[in-house]
Amino acid sequence: MSTGPPKSRAGQRRIDLSPSLSLVLRHHRSEQERYREELGISLTDDDFVFSYPDGTPFDPSTITHAFKKIVHKAGLPEVRLHDLRHTHASLMLKAGVHPKIVSERLGHSNISITLDTYSHVLPGLQAAAAKRFDDVMELVPRIPADEGEMSAKCRQQGSSHKRARRDSNPRPSVPKTDALIR
């Protein structure tokens, strides 16, 4: 196994973890610390999350094989570990998380990679966005046009603004269609 810099600058990033995942990882770290303590080795911040008690990192294929066994035991269809990344992105987009945030979490160098890869998830989002707009507009107070002092003032100001624009930016007169036909 080799380690090195990520493929792009976006690959080196910080992401927020869900509270439940944070708990699982804290428990895992405390177990690692207990094992290391028994061996007389200190756990450091540079140690891998998945490693043997002595700190040697697992070979990535070890994690892949363990995942396959878990999927099989659970009676799930065959799924690759990497497919969880796609599932995560798809579920976030379907939940209405902004594509830019999903892109950052995945480490894509720009949002177009995310949108190109996951566009199949987005069609229903257009309808959802239109519905959300209507929902927000329901919260806006409505004033009937013929009622209220503000409505009259707005109409008055609107017509004076139009007049001022007309006066400052005259347009050439266009003959009426009737005049052209005669």
User: What is the reported pLDDT for 140?
Assistant: 82
Is 152 part of a structural domain of the chain?
A: no
CA distances from 96 to 20, 83, 101, 122, 138 (A): 20, 20, 11, 9, 20
| CA pair distance 172, 182, nearest whole angstrom | 21
Into how many domains does the chain fold? 1
For the chain, 182 residues long, the average pLDDT of each consecutive 10-residue run is: 76 88 94 90 86 86 93 93 92 90 91 89 77 88 63 58 50 44 40
Q: Is residue 25 part of a domain?
A: no
Residue 82 lies in a domain: yes
CB within 8 Å of 25: residues ≥ 6 apart: 17, 49
Is 4 inside any structural domain? no
Looking at residue 74, what is its pLDDT?
94
Is the residue at 92 inside a domain?
Answer: yes
Residue 90 domain-assigned (yes or no)? yes
Task: Report yes or no on 105 lying in a domain.
Answer: yes
- What pTM did the predictor assign? 0.60
Structure tokens at 37: 């303590």
**Model pLDDT, residue 72:** 94
Domain limits at 118?
Answer: 78-140
Residue with tokens 């976030």: 92
pLDDT at res. 182: 37
How many Å apart are CA 88 and CA 140, to the nearest integer?
Answer: 35
Does 165 fall in a domain?
no
